[in-house]
Amino acid sequence: MNLPDRITVVEVGPRDGLQMEKVFIPTGLKIEVINCLSASGLRCIEATSFVNPKVIPQMADSDEVMRGIDRRPGVTYSALILNVKGAQRAIAAQVGAVRFVVCASEAYNQKNMNMSIAQSLAALETVIALCVPQGIRVEPAVSVAFGCPFEGDVPEQRVLELAGACAALGLRHICIADTVGLASPLSVRRLMSALREALPTCVFALHLHDTRGLGLANVLAAMDVGVTVFESSLGGLGGCPTTKVATGNISTEDLVNMCDELGIATDVDVEVIRRTSAKLQSFLGRPLPSHVLVAGTRRALFSQLADA
């Protein structure tokens, strides 16, 4: 396999991981989790979202979260937004970057954002005009890129066109999201290589959910075609309000552990992530879907054996 020397892990747990949790996680705990994540070596953390708090009550404290976290130098704290109002709130909260979502399926865009794809793209232009002069990077995500629970297969051409539309607006960092966990190593390989070929000056990140157990297999397939930025969530938390079938993101500790085993640098300390997931797990009171959280790493096991 063609494996990279290093990858960038983008932590989306504080947003994607927590947004569907029914019990409100106290703001102080959210802040503590984000501070632990930045102490682990992670350099990109999606800290929250600026959306309608009536729709996503868990993210109602996004302003307080952004005010309360320690801003570690070298770490970009980003937020997900879906409209212009979100951009205005994110700017006021001094985020480092915004993640703006456009769906590759008209039905999903309508259900999640209450807008057509064309309306989302028009809003994106305004978001760029507002954010870029403030030094805030705009990073679009093309969501449901590998299939939609309402429309079925998503044509590769549509994802290429949407990514191309983002690139035409001057955006170079584009995330491709398997929002409901429908990607397979073959579709990842096909789509990511087509995107890299069509838009060679863009940097593509891949956002994966482990809904059907293919998460890390999809990471390997993407690495093999040159993708080096991956989004994951501590503890394997995650979900989307638009569909019940999206379960957690790929787990950050599982992703980092796999990279450690393969000699791929991440600069992330897996044990710090694991301890942070354990903290959230005990607050939530149910087992989280992360393998390394349950079993520990091979290295930790072997060092215990050596000590015994």
Catalytic residue, from 36, 44, 103, 240: name it. Answer: 240
Instruction: Tell me how far apart the alpha carbons of residues 190 and 124 are, in angstroms, rounded to a whole number.
Output: 27
User: Cβ closer to ligand COA: 41 or 241?
Assistant: 241
With CB under 5 A as the contact rule, the residue among 11, 16, 61, 254 that binds Zn ion is 16
Cβ-based nearer residue to ligand COA, 40 or 233 = 233
Asked whether position 231 contacts Zn ion by CB under 5 A, the answer is no
The region of 9-17, 35-43, 92-100, 250-258 touching Zn ion under the rule CB under 5 A is 9-17
Lookup: tokens for 269: 């300390």
From the CB of 196, what's the least distance to Zn ion, in Å? Answer: 22
Closest contact distance (angstroms) between CB of 36 and ligand COA is 23
Contacts with ligand COA, residue ranges (CB under 6 A): 19, 49-52, 55-56, 80, 82-83, 85-86, 89, 101, 112-114, 240-241
The binder of 55, among Zn ion, ligand COA, none, by C-beta within 5 to 8 A per type, is: ligand COA
Catalytic residue list contains 175:
no
- Token pair in block for residue 66: 């952004």
> What CA–CA distance (Å, rounded) separates 123 from 127?
6
Contact of residue 121 among ligand COA, Zn ion, none (CB under 5-8 Å per partner type): none
**Could you count the other beta carbons within 10 Å of the beta carbon of residue 281?**
18
| CA 247 distance to own-chain centroid | 13
Least distance to ligand COA, CB of residue 293, Å: 24
Q: In the chain, which ranges are continuous DSSP H helix?
A: 27-39, 62-68, 84-92, 106-113, 117-131, 156-168, 185-198, 215-224, 252-262, 270-284, 291-295, 298-307
Judged by phi (left if over 0) then psi (alpha if -120 to 50, else beta), residue 170 lies in left
Catalytic positions, written as ranges: 240
